[in-house]
Every structure is written in C-alpha cells, then in structure tokens.
Amino acid sequence: MTNSTQNQFLTTAGGIPRTWETMTGGQVSGEQVKYRNGGSIKEEVVGTPPTWSDIVLTRGFDIADLEMLRKLAKNCNKTRHTITKQPLDANMIRKGKPLVYPYCLLKGVDFPDTNSNSTSDRGMVTLTFATNGLA
C-alpha cells in the first residue's frame, strides 16, 4: 500500500477549463433511527437515506477566466457539471480509477476578494456544487 499526500490528486469540473487547487466536500453520511420492539431490550437500528455534502472547488484567479466566471454566475443553479478527482502517483501520473461525481448542480460562484492594502494574498475563485453522489 502506498501513502499519498493531498497534492496527489487532479481535480476537474466538466466544461470548465483548467484544474482546481483544492476540493472539499463530497462526503456521504446518513442518520440512524434506533428503536426497540415491544418487550425487547435490544435496540434495532435503521439507516435513513444518505445525503452528500456540497463540493467546493478553489483555485487562484486568472484574468483569462473572468468571462467564463461571469457566464457561470449568470447560470448559477441552472448548469450541471461532472466533478472528477483523479489520484496521482508520486510522479504525478494518473493512477487508478477516479472518483466521479456526475451531474453536480452549480450553486455558487465566489469571485476573488479585494484589498488595496494587500500585496501577498492571492485572489481566489471558488465554485460550489450540490451533488447526489458518486457514479
């Protein structure tokens, strides 16, 4: 078994150029209901349908992306994209089967913050997607 670091993944969003620096979310969880049948000491556990957390993609702002970001913002809550998270080996070569989240709804576009007194903070772009799980 080979361990990997967080930088050994390549994340893309279908129809949106370039790769993404960070991806968070896309986790599955569910709630459970516990109950006892009449006269029973032993609890029974029933799982509810799972839910998936939003996927958040972030990368440094590139002025070449501005028009694309405008279009995405105008189509927020309308367009759907496939998010792919591809593992990479130590040489940054694609390795194994990627995690694929199909048909994710774009639900948020965050443009870079501004600060006229900052010279060291990068402008970042963030896209948020709702997902209903892996392919």
Give pLDDT tens digits for 27-69.
999 999 999 999 899 999 999 999 999 999 999 999 999 999 9
User: What tokens appear for 60 in the block?
Assistant: 């440094």
- Helix (H) or strand (E) holding 8, with range, is none
Rounded Cα gap, residues 88 and 98, in angstroms: 9
Q: What is the mean pLDDT of residues 66-95?
A: 96
pLDDT band at 6 (very low <50, low <70, confident <90, very high): confident
- The angle at the Cα of 16, spanning 127 to 104, to the nearest 5 degrees, equals 55
Residue 133 has pLDDT above 90, yes or no: yes
What Rg value do the Cα atoms of the chain yield, rounded? 20
- Once rounded to an integer, what is the mean pLDDT over residues 68-73? 97
Q: What is the pLDDT of residue 118?
A: 83
Percent of the chain with pLDDT over 90: 86
Q: Specify the pLDDT at position 121.
A: 86
Q: Using the predicted structure, report yes or no on whether residue 14 has a pLDDT greater than 90.
A: yes
Structure token digits, residue 29: 């969880």
The dihedral formed by the CA atoms of 84, 90, 95 and 98, expressed in degrees to the nearest 10: -20
The architecture CATH gives domain 9-130? Roll (2.30)
- Whole-number Å distance between alpha carbons of 117 and 48: 50
Q: How many Å apart are CA 70 and CA 66, to the nearest integer?
A: 6
Q: Are 108 and 77 in contact (CB under 8 A)?
A: no
Quote the pLDDT of residue 1.
53
What pTM was estimated for this model as a whole? 0.89
pLDDT score recorded for residue 68 = 96
Residue 49 bridge partners (DSSP): none
